[in-house]
Amino acid sequence: MALDQAASPERIGDTGVLRWPGTWRVYVATRSEEIRADAERALTIRDGAGQLVSVGEGIGRHLERGESYARSKHGLRRWLTGQAIEGAWSNVNSATVLLYGVLPTVELCGRAPEVVAIGRAYLPGDDPRLTHLQARLAAGDLGEDDRPLMQSVLRAAYTAQAMETGRVRSFRNLLLGGVVMLSLIVLSVVAIGAIWPDAVPMCGNQSVVQAQGLMPAQICPTGSLRPSRGDVPLVALIGMLGAALATAASLSTRSELSTRYSLAVVQNMLKAPAGVATSVLGLLILNSGFVPGFAGLGSQPAILVWAMAFGYGQQVVTRFVDQRADNLLMAASPLTPAGKGTRVA
């Protein structure tokens, strides 16, 4: 059999497809077995010519490479570059395109709606290959001559899918870099405030109230009357609490689209250091007297409430990141037809 060169189910079971975490490995293994079974059945039915045997061998090689990626453990570098998951799916998709070259004509025509659906998910609505195939399907006169056309639509759709998922992966890596850099900056500010409290003043100035004899001139986040080492760390913690509340609120309205990569975790990771930054900067602005008509922070609870509000307010900044992420995920999802909704150019 032409596919004997490929990894058999026994080989897959022995080497352990599920040894390493990742649901994509399950999908790759399952899809590979489906393609292998379809190809072996098609080659048996057509009992064929030398070129069909050659195509079958090509399918087997692609499946073997894809399963090799799925069976192997991959480190941080390959995770960041997407070499593992993209290598696996690229070979599975190539095997799928080749499969349409050996399917019997009747089955080939029966799968035409599936090809159209895949094409509509990733190709523009005016793509000439897709429109031609749709016209042929609507006319009901599909035949052997349409085999190259169906393969062309599939190949173009899979290429477009790889480009869109590549954009999602690049944006994920960009977000990870932003989280690391912003976290380092925030940690530096908190460390400076803990070592030199006067360098990052978080205390409210109440000189007017002091003249009335009601309370001291300064009130700090920790409740002391002068800056202390715990002021900035406490504000940072309260700011993170506000960011956590904003994250919880956003989760209730967020819909996860079907893509190879998820951005939700990285988006939520970004909100924590952003909440710390906005809470510290917000209190600095209020205490500076820059806001016209603002009388100052009159008590410790007022300072902490403002810190939480500013931490929650990081959503004003990070919502632009969320919008960009939603656009990228929408473009990479097969559930959103190309040309409908917000697509990424």
Q: How many structural domains is the chain composed of?
A: 2
Query: Which of the listed residues 169, 201, 216 is the one where a domain comes to its end?
Result: 169
pLDDT score at 70: 87
pLDDT score at 12: 32
Query: Which of the listed residues 169, 192, 207 is the one where a domain comes to its end?
Result: 169
Is 219 found in the same domain as 162?
no
Query: Which of the listed residues 154, 169, 184 is the one where a domain comes to its end?
Result: 169
Closest listed residue to residue 190, CA positions, set 240, 263, 260: 240
Is 151 found in the same domain as 273?
no
With respect to residue 284, please indicate whether it lies within any of the assigned structural domains.
yes
Is 200 found in the same domain as 113?
no
Is 225 found in the same domain as 92?
no
With respect to residue 84, please indicate whether it lies within any of the assigned structural domains.
yes
With respect to residue 222, please indicate whether it lies within any of the assigned structural domains.
yes
Is 316 found in the same domain as 248?
yes
With respect to residue 32, please indicate whether it lies within any of the assigned structural domains.
yes
Closest listed residue to residue 108, CA positions, set 69, 135, 142: 142
pLDDT score at 201: 85
Is 147 found in the same domain as 78?
yes
* Length of the chain as a residue count: 345
pLDDT per position in the chain (345 positions), as tens?
Answer: 445 544 343 333 334 445 666 788 888 999 999 999 999 988 888 765 567 778 888 999 999 999 998 888 878 888 888 888 999 999 999 999 999 999 998 999 999 999 999 999 899 989 999 999 999 999 888 888 999 999 999 999 999 999 999 999 999 999 999 999 999 999 999 999 999 988 888 887 654 444 444 445 678 888 888 888 889 999 999 999 999 998 888 777 666 667 778 888 898 899 999 999 999 998 888 877 666 656 567 778 888 999 999 999 998 888 888 888 888 888 887 776 654 444 433
The pTM of the whole model exceeds 0.85? no
Is 244 found in the same domain as 264?
yes
Using the structure block, give the residue that is written with the tokens 């097969």. 334
Is 185 found in the same domain as 77?
no
Is 318 found in the same domain as 292?
yes
Is 205 found in the same domain as 163?
no
With respect to residue 157, please indicate whether it lies within any of the assigned structural domains.
yes
Is 193 found in the same domain as 133?
no
With respect to residue 16, please indicate whether it lies within any of the assigned structural domains.
no
Could you tell me the end-to-end alpha-carbon distance of the chain, in angstroms, rounded to an integer?
A: 45
pLDDT score at 191: 94
pLDDT score at 49: 57
Q: Which two tokens stand for residue 339?
A: 């040309």
Task: Give bridge partners of residue 218 from the DSSP assignment.
Answer: 205
With respect to residue 271, please indicate whether it lies within any of the assigned structural domains.
yes
- State the residue range of the domain holding 308: 172-332
Is 203 found in the same domain as 140?
no
With respect to residue 339, please indicate whether it lies within any of the assigned structural domains.
no
